Amino acid sequence: MSKKEKKRFRRILISAVLTAAALLVPDVPGWLGYVSVALYLAAYVVSGSDVLINAVRGIGSGSVFDENFLMSVATLGAIALGDLTEAVSVMLFYQIGELFQSLAVSRSRKNITALMDIRPDTAMIETESGMQEVDPESIPEGSEIIVRTGDKIPIDGVVTEGSGELNTAALTGESKPRYVVPGDEVISGCVNNGTMLRIRTTKSFGESTVSKILELVENSSFKKAKAEAFISRFAKYYTPAVCIAALILAVIPPLFTGSWSVWIHRALTFLVISCPCALLLSIPLAFFGSIGGASRSGILIKGGTDVESLASIRTAVMDKTGTLTEGSFRVSGVSPADGIAADHLVNAAAAAETYSTHPIANALREYAGTTADPSLITEASDIAGQGVRAVCGGSTILAGNSKLMKAENIAFVTESFSGTTVYVAENGQFLGSIRISDSLKPTAAETVGRLASSGVRCVMLTGDSENSAASTAAELGISEYRAGLLPADKVSFVESLISELNGKGTVAFVGDGNNDAPVLMRADVGIAMGALGSDAAIEAADIVLMDDDPSKICTAMEISRRCMRVVKENIVFALGIKALCLILGALGIAGMWPAIFADVGVMVISVINSARLLKKI
């Protein structure tokens, strides 16, 4: 327990002992009666002093009608009527409920606290005098850092020396380590379980993955869900309304019956019952617990609104490359045109892709095994949705899809291949085609099946050819797909789906974050797949999956739907019990003890229900 929780527990214990002592004092006239009253009042002050102080502060700041005001008026009124036992009991049980709620929140915060531990406090650099620990914020991009065995990687970068396994569990929720060698990109927050690594930083500390993730989690509470906003608005009008109702109950009936003490007692009971603590505490806890629980599974949710949107997904639109497939392309075949050598075809394609960062360009360069002299490349440009054009050694080389060949009026031979086909031309002459293959992620087909079985419509979008898209869709069991799309086409398609649903559910887009930022932002729910280290994805998406496993989409949906079930259960249960007890209290059927249950009991039960969300799925 925290210091504050320990202090509250001690006050509860002291108040309980004083109350027990007061109950043991014989109820007889004389000095013993004064002792009993003194013990009750002492117990009341110990357990309720903070509530009274907060009520006074609330009045001073203009925030009069809150739970502190309700509890103070009700218990002070009970004392005035001589109901000392009930007054102390209300305060004592209220404090017990507050302690329980605080412990539940603390438990959910442990997930966030554990996540915060991934932030390294120092970084190691090599100087003329030897190894030196420095503040990672002082290390500029492009510097070389040393990561010893057992240390966390402080800044994103590329391994230049050393190899071994990295523990990524704190980031991805997965226990399987990742093996890295020189040339591999690594992200901050991972623990080096291998030999000492030398890493050349590719970002500053503030822009690294771990800093972006922590910033995202820390700010998650600022995005309140509709249910949370509803409860806040509800309490704003509900609290003064019940105060006015209690005042009417205390004043109007006695004008006709004359039984002032009876009706004042009923009004005070009415106030205790009406306290909206159960909703004010349990609903935010449900969302906070879900966000914390999701982080343990390697799923970062930016706020309560995104939990709510996840639960109502009706259509899931998924990018193909890097989301449903591995995105690790390889050359699987070369078909040179008549009279063209295969080596010339491959080298020309690799030269054209010299400055491209696309995964297909990487595959072509790797297959060629050689790179063109950068000084020979006098012009290089990407043609969106088609390919690249480059001038190398005075020759104009085109490498791309069939659209590029048609746009440049190149006579070419069409390939019918399930993968991706790159057509290559030089100075207007067709050189041939190169086949590029990709493979499905192990859980991709399972994910599509689980989404479909839960009533979610699945659509695949890709910029690849029709043949490639059809083949992948068939393997996955997806009946709807669109091929040959530009980023703007994807946005338009998602907008049409949103209009089609017309508010009856949400549309999610799942992308790998490379060029999907516009559509991630436009979708009702943007989910970034495999986007660690991608600033655009983390900032544009609502949900960030910490690894490449598409099945985490289903896990995120399960967490959100479970959260919304708990929220609805708490709202119905709390309002139902309170409405019943308010009627019974106004009629004089329910006294102060049922009022205590309607307030503290309902709050405790609702908080216990919300605390179930802390369990990892």
Residue 349: CATH number of its domain: 3.40.1110.10
Mean local confidence (pLDDT), 424-432: 94
Q: In the predicted model, is pLDDT for residue 531 greater than 60?
A: no
Between 513 and 482, where is the model more confident? 482
Q: In the predicted model, is pLDDT for residue 555 greater than 50?
A: yes
Catalytic residue among 319, 438, 547, 599: 319
What CATH number is associated with residue 502? 3.40.50.1000
Tell me if residue 246 falls in helix, strand or coil: helix
How are beta strands 457-461 and 313-319 bridged, if at all?
parallel
Q: In the predicted model, is pLDDT for residue 506 greater than 60?
A: yes
Residue 345 lies in a domain: yes
Nearest to 169 by CA among 124, 214, 117, 212: 117
Q: In the predicted model, is pLDDT for residue 533 greater than 50?
A: no
Phi–psi pair at 132, nearest 5 degrees: -145, 135
Q: In the predicted model, is pLDDT for residue 390 greater than 80?
A: yes
* Alpha carbon distance 227, 304 (integer Å): 9
How are beta strands 543-545 and 525-528 bridged, if at all?
parallel
List the helix and strand counts (H, then E) for the chain.
21, 22
Mean local confidence (pLDDT), 381-403: 89
Residue 12 lies in a domain: yes
For the ranges 99-113, 251-265, 286-300, 528-542, the lowest mean pLDDT is seen at: 99-113
The predicted structure's pLDDT at residue 607 = 75
Residue 128 lies in a domain: no
Q: Which of 387, 412, 437 is the last residue of a domain?
A: 437
Instruction: Please indicate, yes or no, whether residues 484 and 387 belong to a single structural domain of this protein.
Output: no
> Going by C-beta distance under 8 Å and a sequence separation of 6 or more, which residues neighbour residue 404?
383, 386, 387, 398, 423
Looking at the 3D structure of the chain, how many domains does it have? 3
Instruction: Please indicate, yes or no, whether residues 12 and 27 belong to a single structural domain of this protein.
Output: yes
Most confident of 178-192, 433-447, 513-527: 433-447
Instruction: Please indicate, yes or no, whether residues 398 and 468 belong to a single structural domain of this protein.
Output: no
* Alpha carbon distance 608, 48 (integer Å): 24
Q: Which of 406, 437, 468 is the last residue of a domain?
A: 437
- pLDDT confidence tier of residue 409, bands split at 50, 70 and 90: very high
Instruction: Please indicate, yes or no, whether residues 573 and 487 belong to a single structural domain of this protein.
Output: no
Instruction: Please indicate, yes or no, whether residues 425 and 572 belong to a single structural domain of this protein.
Output: no
* Alpha carbon distance 301, 115 (integer Å): 13
User: Residue 270 pairs with which residues in a beta bridge?
Assistant: none
Q: Which of 437, 470, 503 is the last residue of a domain?
A: 437
- What's the domain range around 63? 3-113+221-287+561-614
The predicted structure's pLDDT at residue 614 = 66
Instruction: Please indicate, yes or no, whether residues 340 and 426 belong to a single structural domain of this protein.
Output: yes
Instruction: Please indicate, yes or no, whether residues 347 and 249 belong to a single structural domain of this protein.
Output: no
Which residue's structure tokens are 């620990």?
133
- pLDDT confidence tier of residue 426, bands split at 50, 70 and 90: very high
Q: In the predicted model, is pLDDT for residue 445 greater than 90?
A: yes
Mean local confidence (pLDDT), 492-514: 87
Instruction: Please indicate, yes or no, whether residues 457 and 368 belong to a single structural domain of this protein.
Output: no
Neighbours of 495 (CB within 10 A): 14
* Alpha carbon distance 432, 437 (integer Å): 17
Mean local confidence (pLDDT), 250-273: 80
Residue 532 lies in a domain: yes
Mean local confidence (pLDDT), 189-203: 87
Instruction: Please indicate, yes or no, whether residues 375 and 237 belong to a single structural domain of this protein.
Output: no
- pLDDT confidence tier of residue 203, bands split at 50, 70 and 90: confident
pLDDT digits 0-9 by tens, 458-492: 999 987 778 778 888 998 999 999 988 877 788 89
Residue 586 lies in a domain: yes
The predicted structure's pLDDT at residue 516 = 76
Between 20 and 359, where is the model more confident? 20
The tokens describing 12, both together, are: 């509860």
Instruction: Please indicate, yes or no, whether residues 338 and 467 belong to a single structural domain of this protein.
Output: no
The predicted structure's pLDDT at residue 438 = 81
Residue 201 lies in a domain: no
How are beta strands 313-319 and 506-511 bridged, if at all?
parallel
For the ranges 83-87, 171-175, 270-274, 517-521, the lowest mean pLDDT is seen at: 171-175
User: Residue 545 pairs with which residues in a beta bridge?
Assistant: 299
The tokens describing 281, both together, are: 């505490």
For the ranges 230-234, 398-402, 519-523, the lowest mean pLDDT is seen at: 230-234
Mean local confidence (pLDDT), 368-379: 80
The predicted structure's pLDDT at residue 356 = 82
Check: CB of residue 190 under 8 Å from CB of residue 162. Answer: no
Instruction: Please indicate, yes or no, whether residues 348 and 433 belong to a single structural domain of this protein.
Output: yes
pTM of the full predicted structure?
Answer: 0.65
Residues 536, 541, 547, 553, Cα dihedral to 10°: -160
Average pLDDT, the chain: 81
Check: CB of residue 432 under 8 Å from CB of residue 337. Answer: yes
For the ranges 153-157, 193-197, 299-303, 344-348, the lowest mean pLDDT is seen at: 299-303
Residue 215 lies in a domain: no
Most confident of 15-24, 68-77, 335-344: 335-344
The predicted structure's pLDDT at residue 233 = 67
* DSSP 8-state secondary structure symbol assigned to residue 253: H
CA-based end-to-end distance of the chain? 26
Share of the chain above pLDDT 70, in %: 82
Between 576 and 457, where is the model more confident? 457
Q: In the predicted model, is pLDDT for residue 395 greater than 80?
A: yes
Nearest to 396 by CA among 426, 360, 424: 426
For the ranges 192-201, 517-526, 605-614, the lowest mean pLDDT is seen at: 605-614
343 as an active site residue: the answer is: no
* Alpha carbon distance 506, 523 (integer Å): 8
> Going by C-beta distance under 8 Å and a sequence separation of 6 or more, which residues neighbour residue 80?
none
Nearest to 613 by CA among 223, 132, 283, 236: 283
The tokens describing 307, both together, are: 């939990």
Residue 19 lies in a domain: yes
Instruction: Please indicate, yes or no, whether residues 386 and 456 belong to a single structural domain of this protein.
Output: no
Query: In which element (H, E) is residue 52 found?
Result: helix 31-61
The predicted structure's pLDDT at residue 298 = 77
